[in-house]
Amino acid sequence: MGAIQQIPPPDKPLKELLFIVYFFPPMGGSGVQRPLKYVKYLKQFGWKPIILVPEPGLYHTFDPSLEQELQELIDLDKVQVYRVKGGTPLHWNSSKTQWRPGTRLEKWLRRFSHFFYIPDNKRGWIKQGIQKAEEIIQKHSIQAIYATAPPYSNLMLASWLKARFRIPTILDFRDDWLESHLISYPTPIHKMLMKRMETRVLAAADTVIAINEPIANAIRRRHSSLARVVVQTHGYDSDDFDASLFPDRSIDKHLTNEMGSTENEPIRILYSGTFYSDSGPDIFLQAVKELINEVPSLANIIELHFQGSPIEPYLALINQLGLQEIIYDHGYVPHSQAILRMQQASILWLNNGHKKRNHTITLSKTYEYLATRRPIIALIPEGDTKKILKDYARSYITPPDDIEKVTRTILHAINDVQAGNLTPLNEDWLETFTRKTITQSLANELDTLLEQHPVN
């Protein structure tokens, strides 16, 4: 990706970027971090983001650490934020209300949304977004537009602005659109309407960014006339990781000292993030039970830690397997605390049991897992995440639905941890996934776009 550029000299004015986003602090969760980290570093590469975002409304988690990070960027004049009324079904109550529906209600609401809202239930903010964007464009010298999805309503807003103002536009896909693994079409008509909408919106894009090659290829296949489709992965922010845990940056020494001393030290296996209805912890929990049956002494040292969404839906299975004594449920924690707990774990655990288009799924936490330098047990199918982890020397990869193989994989990882048998890592490879490096790639795309389509 090239060497990191220097901050532009003071006499060179920053170019202004209209940055359209929905999931943004004070909201929490993985969807917030990609746009937040982009805007954190863009100023170093000559761009100042002017952010257009709706008020948060009803949302399942709010993260004070991410909110503080955004406020620091505002205080340093690295970004400017304009918020508008949401106008969606999630904004009927107040501007900021934490609400997490139960599993059954969430499924029903998702079906309802897919039936009545195209492209999604966030489209109610488009009208207010257009009005505010027109004010921003009149006030600022906007030289490019960037919009990230989901929600795909963001892309509709950006395409309208492109048609109105002819400003170079980048559309960013964190998930596929028409073939998203999260969308279930109630009828063929719904899919047809979505296809038409996607075609119309993408016609406005000068550049399309996708988080992985499978999504990029799917977009290229459906829209062969697009001028440019590129891949920019998720990543990790080096600033988020506490260097004090690793004196003199001797990460491997720290791991060996912590994990290779005695067989009686706790083995803390951590899952960080959300479980989905078709990608739960069932197989992993059953494999842990099988392992303890085979090696009873492990019951005294294995700890299963969960942070992210609540694990209440799986308590019946946990109790049935008799694992309740080794379960530690931390619930949702601020991102800063989540990172710290990742670094304190013995082993990290990834899980992708999705049945629909699972090869297109890139688990965003994968990159923060990599940054910890911890061993990773990955229950994943063929696809993008597996491709990444094959290049990480401390990966323990297994199919997500084979209990016997998962059991053997967990035991293999535990044995290596106890023996301090950890393969050295390629630090140069890990550096390619830093948020600063990835933001430089976005800035390069913006600069190229501006050269090809200068704003009058």
What is the residue-level pLDDT of the chain in tens, covering all 456 positions?
Answer: 444 444 555 567 899 999 999 999 999 988 899 999 999 999 999 999 999 999 998 888 899 999 999 999 999 999 999 999 988 888 877 678 877 776 677 778 788 888 899 999 999 999 999 999 999 999 999 999 999 999 999 999 999 999 999 999 999 999 999 999 888 899 999 999 999 999 999 999 999 999 999 999 999 999 999 889 999 999 999 999 865 444 333 334 334 334 444 567 899 999 998 887 667 899 999 999 999 999 999 999 999 999 987 788 889 999 999 999 999 999 889 999 999 999 999 999 998 865 567 677 788 899 999 999 999 999 998 888 899 999 999 999 999 889 999 999 999 999 999 999 899 999 999 999 999 999 999 999 999 999 988 776
Q: Cα torsion at 88, 55, 149, 192 (round to 10°)?
A: 10
Instruction: Please name the residues in contact with 419: beta carbons below 8 A apart, sequence gap of 6 or more.
Output: 260
Q: Model pTM?
A: 0.88
- CA dist 72 and 262 (Å) reads 43
pLDDT on residue 30? 84
pLDDT on residue 73? 96
Instruction: Please name the residues in contact with 192: beta carbons below 8 A apart, sequence gap of 6 or more.
Output: none
DSSP labels, 48-116:
EEEEEEE--EEES-B-HHHHHHHHHHHHTTS-EEEEE---SGGGSS-SEEE----HHHHHHHHHHHHHH
Domains and CATH numbers, the chain: 15-235+434-452 (3.40.50.2000), 239-431 (3.40.50.2000)
CB 90, CB 59: distance < 8 Å: yes
At 327, which helix (H) or strand (E)? strand 327-329
Residue among 162, 63, 137, 87 nearest 449 (CA): 162
Dihedral sign of CA atoms 334, 337, 342, 346 in order: negative
pLDDT on residue 354? 58
pLDDT on residue 103? 67
Tokens (6 digits) for 296 = 């009873």
pLDDT on residue 265? 85
Residue among 254, 263, 251, 303 nearest 418 (CA): 263
CB 167, CB 142: distance < 8 Å: yes
pLDDT on residue 290? 96
Q: What percent of the chain is helix, strand and coil (3-state, nearest 5)?
A: 45, 20, 35
Tokens (6 digits) for 176 = 């596929």
